[in-house]
């Protein structure tokens, strides 16, 4: 095959990968290719991979195997490209374990993807795992259509070096895009239909561009972009929640009352061993300060159980910080040793059964809190941004200010509208309600 026509991009992991995958689709589209209906119909399959936990990385190899098998059965030979953080961290291992992979491209180098695909189609493997920082953004094309809630990457990389984490190695050092360039992209996204912008970065609240624009300033400027009614940001580090940023939550109406603020553990000893540079108490104080300026602030978090050396009492401290914070949503994981990170070689690794048992207890508490939070919004009238059509005809699916999924009857509204809805029912994962800003016909 010398002329690949149809691509399929499959993305794993975090929202930065979702953003990157969208950009890859645009680049391949600009190179004259079209999106295949399914992965099995594609001439080019891009796996945009995640390396954060072992399971995430192993999925890549099984997916490559599956693609090869499905293609062989049909006498097909697609170009398989491995992009993202597994490509960055294990490029050579992929080349060895999966010789059929034609393109290996890291998260900072994918702006060259179309040329790499072309070379691979003519039988030459291409590998690019440079970390040239902001280079790729310069090469990215225009966005023609934007979802009502669109991602905008403003910062990449991480200098924090939490001892369990591969991100500083796979995504490189912290860099912030220039505020003017970010604003330009925000304007373009608004013109293309975005109503909400989710500012993305591995450490988004550490944002500071070369000319000294800080994160709170940037949020203010984005809030002034015509058409943008909502702003969110993710992922944040507790140590970078400055007073200025906390105040911004009380001042900027477009800034939604929801914050994903990972804490990882409630034990100060474990936090120190994780190199987290915050304590359990300072985290709780940050949440309290946020709730003073924005009383309806919903908090989401990340947790790791079974970090090396974690005792029963230290795990109990994690349950305690969960009780003190009261989460609206959360993501929790068993500690997974990642090659090359300091924690992977620490003594006293925790047995799998202990991790499993701790995770189950933590998740039971977090699920309980999530349901309680959702039930707490029953009877509340709030703005909902309609993001897509619901499963039933005439129904729309949108997001509340607190990032809950809300089903409601469209009653004249369409995707992209912000409407007022009274929440009537609340489940663990979604809500439903009725529009209150329009009488039913």
* Binding-site positions for [4Fe-4S] cluster: 14, 50, 85, 158, 162, 165
The enclosing H or E element of 367 equals: helix 352-376
Alpha helices, H only, 100-171:
113-121, 135-139, 167-170
Distance CA 309, CA 290 (A): 32
Q: Which of 50, 162, 182, 359 binds ligand SF4 (CB under 6 A)?
A: 162
Q: Which of 203, 325, 369, 377 binds ligand SF4 (CB under 6 A)?
A: 203
CB count in 10 Å sphere of residue 417: 17
x/- track of binding to ligand 5AD for residues 100-129 (CB under 6 A): ------------------------------
Q: Name the binder of 336 from ligand SF4, ligand 5AD, none, CB < 5-8 A by kind.
A: ligand 5AD
- Asked if residue 16 binds ligand SF4 (CB under 6 A), the reply is no
Distance CA 311, CA 55 (A): 24
Q: How far is CA 83 from the centre of its chain?
A: 16
- Asked if residue 331 binds ligand SF4 (CB under 6 A), the reply is no
Residue that the structure tokens 């490559």 belong to: 64
Please state whether 123 falls in left (phi above 0), alpha (psi between -120 and 50) or beta.
left
Of 166-185, which residues contact ligand SF4 (CB under 6 A)? 167-168
- Asked if residue 262 binds ligand 5AD (CB under 6 A), the reply is yes
| Count of residues that interact with ligand SF4, criterion CB under 6 A | 10
Closest to 265 in 3D by CA, of 365, 167, 362, 160 = 362
Residue that the structure tokens 């360039």 belong to: 181
| Count of residues that interact with ligand 5AD, criterion CB under 6 A | 12
Shortest Å distance, C-beta 168 to ligand 5AD: 11
Find the part of the chain contacting ligand SF4 (CB under 6 A) among 57-65, 91-99, 160-168, 217-225: 160-168
Q: Which of 136, 278, 294, 338 binds ligand 5AD (CB under 6 A)?
A: 338
Shortest Å distance, C-beta 16 to ligand 5AD: 10
DSSP secondary structure letter of residue 351: P
Q: Name the binder of 338 from ligand 5AD, ligand SF4, none, CB < 5-8 A by kind.
A: ligand 5AD
Q: Which of 264, 300, 325, 400 binds ligand 5AD (CB under 6 A)?
A: 264
Distance CA 440, CA 327 (A): 35
Please state, in angstroms and as integers, the Cα–Cα distance from residue 141 to each residue in 103, 113, 136, following that order: 21, 13, 10
Tokens of 145: 């259509």
CB count in 10 Å sphere of residue 394: 10
Collapse the DSSP code of 394 into the 3-class scheme (helix H, G, I; strand E, B; otherwise coil) and give the result.
Answer: coil
- Asked if residue 270 binds ligand SF4 (CB under 6 A), the reply is no
Q: Name the binder of 168 from ligand 5AD, ligand SF4, none, CB < 5-8 A by kind.
A: ligand SF4
Q: Name the binder of 237 from ligand SF4, ligand 5AD, none, CB < 5-8 A by kind.
A: ligand SF4
Contacts with ligand 5AD, residue ranges (CB under 6 A): 52-53, 164-165, 262, 264, 302, 304, 333, 335-336, 338
């Amino acid at each position: 095959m010398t002329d690949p026509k149809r691509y399929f991009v499959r993305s794993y992991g975090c929202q930065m990968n979702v953003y990157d995958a969208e950009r890859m689709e645009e680049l391949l589209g600009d190179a004259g290719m079209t999106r295949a209906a399914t992965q099995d119909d594609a001439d080019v399959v891009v796996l945009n991979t995640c390396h954060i936990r072992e399971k995430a990385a192993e999925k890549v190899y099984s997916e490559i195997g599956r693609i090869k098998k499905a293609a062989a059965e049909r006498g097909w030979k697609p170009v398989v490209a491995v992009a993202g953080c597994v490509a960055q961290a294990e490029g050579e291992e992929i080349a060895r374990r999966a010789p059929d992979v034609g393109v290996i491209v890291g998260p900072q180098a994918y702006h060259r993807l179309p040329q790499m695909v072309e070379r691979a189609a003519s039988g030459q493997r291409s590998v690019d795992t440079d970390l040239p920082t902001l280079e790729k953004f310069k090469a990215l094309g225009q966005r023609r259509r934007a979802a009502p809630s669109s991602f905008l990457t403003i910062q990449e990389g991480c200098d924090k070096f939490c001892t369990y984490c591969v991100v500083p190695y796979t995504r490189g050092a912290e860099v912030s895009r220039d505020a003017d360039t970010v604003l330009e992209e925000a304007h373009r996204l608004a013109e293309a239909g975005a109503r909400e912008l989710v500012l993305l970065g591995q450490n988004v609240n550490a944002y500071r561009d070369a000319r000294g624009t800080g994160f709170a300033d940037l949020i203010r400027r984005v809030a002034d972009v015509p058409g943008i009614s909502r702003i969110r940001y993710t992922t944040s580090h507790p140590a970078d929640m400055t007073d200025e940023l906390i105040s911004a939550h009380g001042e900027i109406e477009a800034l939604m009352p929801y914050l994903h603020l990972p804490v990882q553990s409630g034990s100060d000893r474990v936090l120190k061993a994780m190199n987290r540079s915050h304590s359990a108490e300072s985290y709780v104080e940050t949440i309290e300060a946020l709730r003073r300026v924005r009383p309806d602030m919903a908090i989401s978090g990340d947790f790791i159980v079974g970090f090396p050396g974690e005792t029963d009492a230290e795990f109990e401290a994690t349950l305690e910080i969960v009780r003190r914070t009261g989460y609206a949503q959360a993501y929790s994981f068993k500690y997974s040793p990642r090659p090359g990170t300091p924690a992977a070689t620490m003594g006293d690794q925790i047995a799998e059964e202990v991790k499993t048992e701790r995770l189950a207890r933590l998740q039971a508490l977090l699920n309980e809190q999530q349901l309680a939070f959702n039930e707490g919004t029953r009877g509340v009238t709030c703005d909902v941004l309609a993001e897509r059509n619901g499963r039933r005809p005439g129904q729309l699916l949108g997001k509340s200010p607190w990032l809950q999924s809300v089903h409601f009857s469209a009653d004249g509204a369409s995707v992209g509208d912000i409407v007022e809805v009274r929440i009537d029912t609340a489940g663990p994962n979604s809500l439903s309600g009725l529009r209150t800003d329009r009488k039913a016909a």
